[in-house]
Structure 1
Amino acid sequence: MNTSPDTTGLDALVSAAVDPLGLLLESTTAGGEPGQRVLTVVVDRSEGTAGLDLDELAEATRAVSAALDAAGDDLPGLGTEPYQLEVSTPGVSRPLTEPRHWRRNVGRLVEVQIEADAGPDGGAEPAGAAPGPALTARIQSADEAGVVLVPVRPGAKKGMPAKVGEPERHPYDRLGPATVQVELTRGGAGAATGELKTEV
């Protein structure tokens, strides 16, 4: 969980407020200028791939606002200054760095850097070795140990269908932060069955 240094004391308050809603606190950030402070709270579902709709965000905002009001007029990172509360979700720009991030994005297309394979003797790559290739792939499944990725490569010519490779399992310690790729023709939940169904 990422928090600005001066808002650590808010984490317990906000977490307790959103937990009954099935949400997790991703971050709290106090920004803005004195007299015009903005408290940004980012929340996400703890499990599943569905996003939060506007009604759910409104409910989370009410819960957080009530919890902060009950805490009194002197809040960590804000003091007694007036502030504007903004509650949002991480969105596709959040790097996937934790197992639950990967689970939340099953079915989506991502780009991720993969560490180079071990050397010929099975040992680790020497220090300073070049990183492995960047892979564009769809997340087939994810658990606490690793993720199964289905490589997706562009067609040879414009307009041709993408080429789908065989599923590959990777432990998280070999993956860099992944970025979700925006798809204009379909969302992650609408991934073609053929891109996800192969077992490994």
Structure 2
Amino acid sequence: MSRTAIEEKVLDCVEPVVKAQGLFLEDVKVSERSETVVRIIVDLEEGTYLVSSDDLQEVSWKISEALDAADPIEQAYTLEISTPGAERKLHTPRHYRRSLNRLVEIKLADKSELRGFIREVGESELTLEEEAKAPKPGMKPKPGKLVTVSFENISKARVRVDFGSLKD
């Protein structure tokens, strides 16, 4: 992913601030259409916990202060700071590790698709428990089949919100 010169300036300014708050700088985007919008995406480095609203608020203040002091953007802009979201796209092994035990949809290079729960993540592959389907309506589903998928065979992947069953 290539960044513009302004995005690089913003990244250089905010990355140390984000790290100092114990967070990971996921992405920086600067959109310069009718108004300039600076979007900064933060996340946790590891684990399956979520960034708390208190942590997000604190890092937002710190980022705003750092940008005001460094002034990397000449014109007025709107600053948006958020997390990747509940249904984030997955691109790196870290993304998959952060989504351990979550429901995902994966499109493979051969155009086939998988849907299931990430159970293990290695350096070059992951193990997915395919989403189980009930044999007949009203019956409990059987555990899904475990499938190992190489990262190089994945063309797209996204976390999906799992609402679970109301019959538990």
TM bucket (normalised to shorter chain) is 0.7 to 0.9
Letter in 1 for 2:164: T
Q: Which residue of 1 aligns with 2:114?
A: 135
**Match of residue 93, structure 1, among 78, 87, 97:** 87
Residue 85 of structure 1 and its aligned partner are, at CA, apart by 1.4
Q: Which residue of 1 aligns with 2:153?
A: 174
Identity %: 32
Residue 108 of structure 1 and its aligned partner are, at CA, apart by 0.3
Letter in 2 for 1:26: E
Q: What SS is found at the alignment partner of 1:176?
A: strand
Q: What SS is found at the alignment partner of 2:162?
A: coil
Residue 52 of structure 1 and its aligned partner are, at CA, apart by 0.9
**Match of residue 141, structure 2, among 143, 154, 162:** 162
If the length of structure 2 is used for normalisation, what is the TM-score? 0.85
Alpha-carbon contact 1:110-1:178 (below 8 Å) kept: yes
The number of aligned residues is 165
CA-atom RMSD in angstroms: 2.2
Structure ID, larger Rg: 1
Q: For 2:119 and 2:133, locate their aligned partners in 1 and report how far apart those are by CA, in whole Å.
A: 18
Residue 4 of structure 1 and its aligned partner are, at CA, apart by 5.3
Letter in 1 for 2:51: L
Q: For 2:129 and 2:164, locate their aligned partners in 1 and report how far apart those are by CA, in whole Å.
A: 18
Alpha-carbon contact 2:116-2:130 (below 8 Å) kept: yes
Alpha-carbon contact 1:27-1:43 (below 8 Å) kept: yes
Residue 180 of structure 1 and its aligned partner are, at CA, apart by 1.1
Alpha-carbon contact 1:49-1:105 (below 8 Å) kept: yes
Q: Which residue of 2 aligns with 1:11?
A: 11
Q: For 1:170 and 1:62, locate their aligned partners in 2 and report how far apart those are by CA, in whole Å.
A: 40
Deviations 1:116-145 (A, max 9, x none): xxxxxxxxxxxxxxx152111110011222
Alpha-carbon contact 1:4-1:28 (below 8 Å) kept: no
Alignment of 1:8-87 (within 5 A): 8-31=8-31, 33=33, 36-72=35-71, 75=72, 78-79=73-74, 81-87=75-81
**Match of residue 124, structure 2, among 145, 151, 166:** 145
Residue 59 of structure 1 and its aligned partner are, at CA, apart by 1.0
Shift of the 13–161 alpha-carbon distance from structure 1 to 2, 3 Å rule, reads farther
Shift of the 66–151 alpha-carbon distance from structure 1 to 2, 3 Å rule, reads same
Q: For 1:5 and 1:158, locate their aligned partners in 2 and report how far apart those are by CA, in whole Å.
A: 56
Alpha-carbon contact 2:87-2:161 (below 8 Å) kept: no
Alpha-carbon contact 1:92-1:179 (below 8 Å) kept: no
Shift of the 19–172 alpha-carbon distance from structure 1 to 2, 3 Å rule, reads same
Shift of the 14–100 alpha-carbon distance from structure 1 to 2, 3 Å rule, reads same
Q: For 1:49 and 1:3, locate their aligned partners in 2 and report how far apart those are by CA, in whole Å.
A: 28
Shift of the 143–22 alpha-carbon distance from structure 1 to 2, 3 Å rule, reads farther
Q: For 1:158 and 1:14, locate their aligned partners in 2 and report how far apart those are by CA, in whole Å.
A: 52
Q: For 2:125 and 2:20, locate their aligned partners in 1 and report how far apart those are by CA, in whole Å.
A: 28
